[in-house]
A and B are shown apart, each in its own frame.
Chain A
Amino acid sequence: MRVGGGLAVFGIAAPAEGTFDPEDFDVASMQEIEEVEVEEQGLEYFTIQQARVVHDLTARIYPSDDNGPGAPEAGVVYFIDGQLNSAWGRGERWYMQGPFAGKDPTSPFEDDPDEPEDVDPETEVPWAEQNPSETQGWQYALTPNEAYDQAIWAIEEHTQSAYDADSFADLEADQQEEIVAALENGAVESFDRVDIDASGFFLLVRQNTLEGMFSDPMYGGNREMIGWRLKGFPGTPGALGSYRSLIEDDEYIELEEGDYRRLADDIDSLGIDGDNEVPANEQSEEGHAHVHDAAEADYPNVVDEAAARGETEIEATSIDLDDADDGGDQ
């Protein structure tokens, strides 16, 4: 759900306590941020020049600053590059049949042998003159990777005409910010020559930047869980992860290094203990007994075969498998 557009302006808040200490990170320290560069190695979709543009775009959207590392350190450009070389980037699960409003010729179905028989002539529309309503969602004739190709071209075109530079990636940060603001406002003229508008591309790259900051590191972004550490998100609970023993606590859990990706999991009982500190959930007495119970419980399954065949009338019963874990109600 979107919120309405109020105009109140908020100042920049101080960083949330404990969210960022450069010492915690095994990555470029803040002093070295300028040196984070795109390397050709490993690119799956972009050219090196395209990647430099996207790298800087995402760095403006989620910057490295006093609040901690941002898109460059998280490797967001590599995340997006990988996504564009996936089924998603190719739009394989999007409906991409024409005609496309604002693009395809008028009355595109006239000579179409597959035309449904019951076409009502009144519903035919001159597609090329038809602008989709904003409420109708994505109507560009583009998959995500095509959208990136065209938008990057348009951004470079705009840079060359409006700034004395060859590439967006060569601009100063404040100049890049001007362009990102213009993208958001749909005010970049060179986009008139491509099939996506500037604000549509802004929404796409903004969304992908957040995805690259905070998705599972297996997708190539959120390197070393930078995004999760920034946010104080303990990492996705692993298979059979649980917060049941913690969720009722009044106390807010200040995460420590050993907690990331471990808070919800009883690593010991799963037999994959590392050498990190003791996670918060193991510090409490009732913290983790359920994992043993879960390993014993083989559910869901049919435990009363006669009942499942509808052969018996049994009263609903509640079987508590894990007496050992009733500590959560304190």
Chain B
Amino acid sequence: MKGVVFTEFLELVETAFSPEVADRIITRADVPSGGAYTAVGTYDHHEMLALVTELARETGVPAANLVHTFGKHLFSRFVVGFPAFFQVPSAFDFLERVHDYIHVEVRKLYSDAELPSFEYARPDDATLVMTYRSRRPFADLAAGLIDAAVEHWGGGVDVVREALDDPERTAVQFTLTRRPAASAS
């Protein structure tokens, strides 16, 4: 997992809770890197799972909620860091480009990046179906990112999450439905 996810996570923990909480979960998780992360490095995703688990224990907030929140934070950091990807008119346009464009660009910079795959379907004009598949259990992170994207482009889209049966990987289907304009606000 890319170092930027760890550095962003720890920064979020330090500001949302406190540097002490951050230091505590690092010490308790006892991760092999010792909690020394650089954004340009790459680390085992188990360290992230361990950190999240310790944060949940420390704060009493469920891990899924923490990861979801982190996803939304990560989206806001991406908007600042890579504004070029966000010059599109709608959340649908942005999300549809994640797999075939944004992830391709990421691989050009980080050939060792391990990225989840997305499949898309457009049963009708108001609906986008995105299927998340990954060897790692970060569907919550994806959900946070998707929710943040919807909010970024003004909301008005309902997101329904549904776990799919996949023996080898985490597979989740997100169905995004644009609400009629009247109730958009």
Partners in one complex: no
- Please list the residues of chain B having a beta carbon within 8 angstroms of any beta carbon in chain A: none
